[in-house]
Structure 1
Amino acid sequence: MKFMLSCAAAVAALVLTPQALAQAAPVAAASADASLYHDLGGQAGLTRLVDRFWDDLKADARMAPFFVNVNPTPFKQRLAEQLCEVSGGPCTYGGADMKTAHSGIDVTRADFNALVEVLQRSMDAQGIAFRVQNRLLARLAPMHRDVVNVR
């Protein structure tokens, strides 16, 4: 349960606020190893995942309100770049740190849990192996402490 909450928080850091994606800080990959990037399908795989994830977010009643006024093109581009970097791919992603990007936005653990459920459904639909999903979520997890601001 603790791992799931951490994973949820990390993923929410990426997605709950579109403004955060426009200004998110670079996130160093857990290692220089690009095997996760390759296991996710490289840039093409990440693009497919982000496209599916966007559709799933918009279809989820819990997540859709966060994205009502979001332009999907830059949102998806930035998210793909950030996931690329986090997974050890060749991308560089820069901008505001997660704490700054999420200041003034109420982000709860329930929001994180819902977001992780949506991301996991998206990854399942893309045929991404469970162990690969866990590796990605583990790399995203450290961001949660800078995002959750409603305890």
Structure 2
Amino acid sequence: MTTSAAPTAKPAVVKDPSLFKDLGGLPVIQKVVADFVALMLADDRIKHTFRDTDLKRLDKTLVEQFCDLSGGGCIYTGDPMKEVHQGLQLTNAHFNALVEDLQLAMDKSDIPSHVQNRLLALLAPMQRDTVTR
């Protein structure tokens, strides 16, 4: 008798929820995202890149993304970064401005720099998918 092996499922990535806790949990992530979006929209260096953006969806998916990456148990429902940023002609200067705005938003919520750096380290690889020139 021949048995066929079931396809092996990719193991789920187990995330360390300590970053989520250190960030202050969902209420603080939601506040950081609200402040972050406000800063981006006021930032002359990058505000033009959000001209055609559904801001309500942006807010929702950023909360999901930060919560997911930090081990908070959320599921990111947004599109892949490469797809979202395709055609925007973003530069490293745009990416750096965005990071600065995120740091300001986290500062506003009194998140310690060593905790900020842990989140930024998880976000940094996304630069490859967003910067296109």
In which range does the TM-score fall when normalised by the shorter chain? 0.7 to 0.9
Aligned twin of 2:36:
53
- Which structure has more relative contact order (CA 8 Å, sep 6+)? It is 1
Aligned twin of 1:76:
59
The C-alpha deviation readout for 1:78-130, integer Å capped at 9, x for no partner, is 11001100111110113432223322220100101111111111111110100
Higher helix share: 1
SS at match of 1:62: coil
Distance 1:68 1:100 in 2: 17
Name which of 92, 112, 124 aligns with 1:109: 92
Name the Cα RMSD after superposition.
Answer: 1.8
Aligned twin of 1:144:
127
Percent identical among aligned pairs is 45
The C-alpha deviation readout for 1:44-100, integer Å capped at 9, x for no partner, is 111010111111112211122122343332211111001100111110113432223
Aligned twin of 2:68:
85
Distance 1:64 1:91 in 2: 27
Using the size of structure 1 for normalisation, the TM-score is 0.73
Q: Which runs of 5+ in 2 are unaligned?
A: 1-11
Aligned twin of 1:64:
47
Q: Which runs of 5+ in 1 are unaligned?
A: 1-27
Larger radius of gyration: 2
Q: Is the 8 A contact 2:15 2:69 kept in 1?
A: no
Name which of 80, 85, 89 aligns with 1:97: 80
Residues 51 and 64 (structure 1), Cα distance of their counterparts in 2 relative to 1, 3 Å cut:
same
Kindly state the Cα deviation for residue 139 of structure 1 after the two structures are TM-superposed.
0.7
